[in-house]
Amino acid sequence: MDRYEPGQIEPKWQRVWEDARAFYVDNPDPSEPAQREKFYMLEMLPYPSGDLHMGHVLNYTLGDVVTHFRRRHGFVVLRPMGFDSFGLPAENAAIRGGGHPREITERNIAAIRAQMHRLGWAIDWDREVSAHQPEYYRWTQWLFLKFLEAGLAYRKAAPVNWCPRDQTVLANEQVIDGRCELCGCEVEARNLEQWFFRITAYADALLDDHAMLDWPERTKTIQRNWIGRSEGAEVLFRVDELDLDLPVFTTRPDTLFGATFMVLAPEHPLVEQLAAGTEHEQAVSEYVKHTAARSTEERETKEKDGVFTGRYALNPATGEPVPVWVADYVLMEYGTGAIMAVPAHDERDFEFAERYGLRVVRVVEPADGSDEEPGSAFVEHTENELLVNSGRFSGQPAPEAARAIVDWLGERGRGRAAVRFRLRDWSFSRQRYWGCPIPIVYCDACGIVPVPEDELPVLLPDVEDYRPKGIPPLASNQEWLHVPCPRCGGEGVREAETMDTFVDSSWYFLRYCDPHNDQAPFDRAIADFWMPVDQYIGGIDHATGHLLYSRFFVKVMNELGLVGAREPFARLFHQGWVRLGGTKMSKSRGNVTAPDQLAEMYGADAVRLFILFMGPADQDMEWTDEGVEGIARFLRRLWRIVNEVAQQPVSGEPGDGPLARKTHATIAKVTDDIGRRFVFNTPIAALMELVNELAPAMSDPAARLAGETLVSLIQPYAPHIAEELWQRLGHERLWEHPWPVADEALLERDTFELVIQVNGKVRDRLEISADLPEAELIEQAKASPRVQAQLDGKEIRQAIVVPRKLVNFVV
């Protein structure tokens, strides 16, 4: 028998699959009813940064197992691949002197594509797309124009996150703990004119439609926190002297009678007007200036401070004037940028009131009369709290009072129920080069003018210098920049900013459906056949970025009639991090084990098996080189045993002996684990068990069945060795062979092992006929000498019988 040589058989079968176009799939013919059920398998597309790492291997191997498993269950499986190829790393590499970003990117794509082929993943390469190709970004631009038309893309000046190193604006989602997600330096707040997508208009839909998604609970929770929906009321506080109303947002309208002062954010537009003409005018203006110079971090950690404006507003409930203060613990970005302060029931307001000697009035008390420190914490908003000092609402339970007070305010035009979100609109313009150009022309006469659809794409031009200088690099290309206004023909200037790469990846799964369409981003009928993605796999780090943006995009596209789906990803799975020495594997940490090097040493099949055998795929795992050795050993064992089986003459029926039963139990286990439980490590263990059972039983009549089943079941994990062994067993084209079905009759046995417990402890086990009546069963159990020793003449108080499992004697 020849040796197992993955280096020989793996390229061989990869060529066979390619020649047979095994994993390419045609779009449905609209004139014919679909023959088979579709399955859209998708993994998050890679950023082409250089090489694949083990995290990618895990991600795409998971997808590959599911792809094979579904294909062999008769589904038409769409499993495409592409590249998220715009973005800063390539541009920064270009600046460091690596050539044009396009060259760097395309070189990296070629390298990754080769690695993907080497690992034998079943991908439909006819559908490959890359974000930086004009054929793709033409439609990214087209979609932008549709969003603009619908009023869902707009340009406005707003405080935004500015990364001083990368010299660009970042979305809130790209700022982690106040730092740039990419370069790690602290971001600054800047007031700049930027492009935004109106994702906030979909805040409720994004929350509500979680109900239709089979997603991990923690991912939904992360999105829920990020969107941050709060229910409450908007209440107007009147400043009579100036004849203006100050709106505040509160989640606790029941505490309105306890609002003894107001606080405005220093950035609040009315601050200046309020303080004007009072003796505090000077102090207020200094405080505002001082705050602007404070860092976000200082603002969050220092003791609360503020200044009085010299003005009073009327509490609409009590009718009493309350002082209006300015303090930077109130944030302009949230609510209305002004609050009613209830020091008795809010820690922050209490701290502030203590410091400045402001009045504290308790308005909510526990119904049981127990005492609480004022301001120690916001009281629970439950039926167990009653209002006090609240006029005609005194004595009412808090939740009921909240509703009644809002109604009462409504009647008098002083307030209404309101909902606020933490989510901000998505700022997506970037002051950098390597991204999708925004198809806009600015014209002095016409303002912001969209580039007409038939002039798309606006091609990304070459520039002399990519270096970030605060102004977009594209602006340096004068020839490109100056164009006639598409509307009036007068002098126009192109938008020189580019789009956030998250825009590119917010619709790529739709382009895969119809990747060569040059009339539209995709044909709706085709997209409606494939969408939604049935199984999406990728990192949880995209929970508030890509996974939120894509949902938003699909919702908008649905409303624009472009697609029937309302959600992009029906089912979602997150693979864990692959770690080495305790830290996440990454290039920057230098602790990367190169997948292709390992594939060279052990074969792609061993790498694929091991990455899934290490542990549950959704859990972080620690990489060990010894582990791969173990898997390689297993594959050699499998190779030897199946080759031996193949050389034996084909015998008669497998029968119903232990090996035949074990074989069918393995089919059931592997099928259930992959199909229903979506776990991938235990099937490998089950296959190892079957190998261990087959090895000493080569002359068993079921040996051939066991061997063939092993090969068939391992195919999704290790397709090359499986195909080779399948051929040696005298068959062909395992990749399209139906998945084996367990014989229920062989899973059921006519005898079973009865476990006998005394007081819950196992004392003996007996092989018992399955149809034995209960009374007989108890007698037999009692007769066991080991049980007798335990019973030892004691009285049996109760005998619990679990059918086909155990008897428990209680003494």
Partner RNA sequence: GCCGGGGUGGCGAAACUGGUCAUACGCGCCUGACUUAAAAUCAGGUGUCUCCUUCGGAGGCGUAAGGGUUCGAGUCCCUUCCCCGGCACCA
Residue 172's identity, in one-letter code, is N
Tell which residue, 557, 679, 708, has the closest CA to residue 618: 679
Binds RNA by CB under 7 A, chosen from 355, 765, 783, 794: 765
Residue 760 binding RNA, by CB under 7 A: yes
What is the phi/psi pair of residue 389, to 5°?
Answer: 50, 35
Residue 689 binding RNA, by CB under 7 A: yes
CB of 175 to RNA, least distance (A): 9
Binds RNA by CB under 7 A, chosen from 249, 507, 512, 602: 249
CB of 226 to RNA, least distance (A): 5
Residue 569 binding RNA, by CB under 7 A: no
Tell which residue, 102, 64, 98, 103, has the closest CA to residue 81: 64
Binds RNA by CB under 7 A, chosen from 761, 771, 793, 795: 761
For 489, the token pair is 């023909």
- Between 495 and 673, CB nearer to RNA: 673
Q: Are 608 and 721 in contact (CB under 8 A)?
A: no
Residue 218 binding RNA, by CB under 7 A: yes
Residue 549 binding RNA, by CB under 7 A: no
Stretch that binds RNA, among 180-188, 397-405, 648-656, 782-790 (CB under 7 A): 782-790
CB of 252 to RNA, least distance (A): 5
Residue-wise burial string across 367-403, b where 16 or more C-beta atoms lie within 10 A, e elsewhere: eeeeeeeebeebbebeeebbbeebeebeebbbeebbe
Binds RNA by CB under 7 A, chosen from 150, 488, 685, 796: 685
- Between 460 and 646, CB nearer to RNA: 646
Residue 688 binding RNA, by CB under 7 A: yes
- Between 491 and 689, CB nearer to RNA: 689
Binds RNA by CB under 7 A, chosen from 648, 692, 769, 788: 692
Residue span 84-113 as binding mask against RNA, x where in contact by CB under 7 A, dash where not:
------------------------------
Strands 429-430 and 572-573 come out as unpaired
Sign of CA dihedral 119, 121, 124, 128: negative
Binds RNA by CB under 7 A, chosen from 566, 637, 737, 782: 637
Name residues contacting RNA, limited to 641-680 (CB under 7 A): 669, 672, 677, 679
- Between 242 and 332, CB nearer to RNA: 332
Binds RNA by CB under 7 A, chosen from 614, 642, 694, 706: 614
Query: Three-class SS of residue 221?
Result: helix
Q: Are 712 and 740 in contact (CB under 8 A)?
A: yes
CB of 396 to RNA, least distance (A): 19
Residue 682 binding RNA, by CB under 7 A: yes
- Between 446 and 601, CB nearer to RNA: 601
CB of 14 to RNA, least distance (A): 25
Residue 309 binding RNA, by CB under 7 A: no
Residue span 332-371 as binding mask against RNA, x where in contact by CB under 7 A, dash where not:
xxxx-x-xx-x---x-x-----------------------
Cα 560 → chain centroid:
25
CB of 181 to RNA, least distance (A): 11
Eight-state DSSP code of residue 212: G
Which stretches does DSSP call E strand in 168-260? Answer: 168-170, 175-176, 179-180, 188-197, 230-239, 244-250
Residue 222 binding RNA, by CB under 7 A: yes
Tell which residue, 684, 677, 680, 678, has the closest CA to residue 714: 684
Residue 631 binding RNA, by CB under 7 A: yes
CB of 693 to RNA, least distance (A): 9
Binds RNA by CB under 7 A, chosen from 396, 476, 784, 808: 808
- Between 131 and 236, CB nearer to RNA: 236
Residue 752 binding RNA, by CB under 7 A: yes
CB of 366 to RNA, least distance (A): 17
Taking the C-alpha atoms of residue 231 and residue 421, their distance in angstroms, rounded to an integer, is: 9
Q: Is 754 left (phi over 0), alpha (psi -120 to 50) or beta?
A: beta
Residue 558 binding RNA, by CB under 7 A: no
Residue 697 binding RNA, by CB under 7 A: no
Binds RNA by CB under 7 A, chosen from 169, 540, 562, 742: 540
Binds RNA by CB under 7 A, chosen from 209, 629, 656, 743: 629
Stretch that binds RNA, among 9-17, 69-77, 139-147, 687-695 (CB under 7 A): 687-695
Tell which residue, 653, 655, 652, 651, has the closest CA to residue 745: 655
| Greatest alpha-carbon span in the chain | 108
Name residues contacting RNA, limited to 143-182 (CB under 7 A): 176
Binds RNA by CB under 7 A, chosen from 292, 459, 741, 762: 762
Tell me how many degrees the CA angle 497-499-502 measures, rounded to the nearest 5. 160
For 587, the token pair is 């290039």
Instruction: Give the orientation angle of helix 625-647 with respect to helix 703-714, to 10 degrees.
Output: 140
For 798, the token pair is 């109760």
Residue 699 binding RNA, by CB under 7 A: no
Taking the C-alpha atoms of residue 288 and residue 268, their distance in angstroms, rounded to an integer, is: 10
CB of 508 to RNA, least distance (A): 24
Taking the C-alpha atoms of residue 237 and residue 270, their distance in angstroms, rounded to an integer, is: 13
Strands 168-170 and 153-163 come out as antiparallel
Q: For tokens 């660009």, name the residue.
A: 168
Q: Alpha helices, DSSP H only, in 483-584?
A: 501-504, 508-511, 524-530, 546-559
Q: Are 505 and 45 in contact (CB under 8 A)?
A: yes
CB of 504 to RNA, least distance (A): 22
How many residues are recorded in the chain?
811
Residue 790 binding RNA, by CB under 7 A: yes
Taking the C-alpha atoms of residue 108 and residue 133, their distance in angstroms, rounded to an integer, is: 14
Taking the C-alpha atoms of residue 327 and residue 245, their distance in angstroms, rounded to an integer, is: 19
Query: Rounded to whole angstroms, what are the CA distances from 515 to 105, 439, 454, 546, 570?
Result: 20, 21, 19, 20, 21
Name residues contacting RNA, limited to 447-486 (CB under 7 A): none
Name residues contacting RNA, limited to 226-245 (CB under 7 A): 226, 228, 230, 232
Q: Which residues contact 197 (CB under 8 A, 6 or more apart)?
A: 147, 152, 153, 425, 426, 428, 552
Stretch that binds RNA, among 69-77, 410-418, 495-503, 761-769 (CB under 7 A): 761-769
For 265, the token pair is 């954010």
Residue 392's identity, in one-letter code, is R
- Between 661 and 763, CB nearer to RNA: 763
Residue 582's identity, in one-letter code, is G
Stretch that binds RNA, among 38-46, 215-223, 384-392, 588-596 (CB under 7 A): 215-223
Binds RNA by CB under 7 A, chosen from 5, 18, 126, 300: 300
CB of 611 to RNA, least distance (A): 11
Residue 583 binding RNA, by CB under 7 A: no
CB of 688 to RNA, least distance (A): 4
Number of residues that bind RNA (CB under 7 A): 89
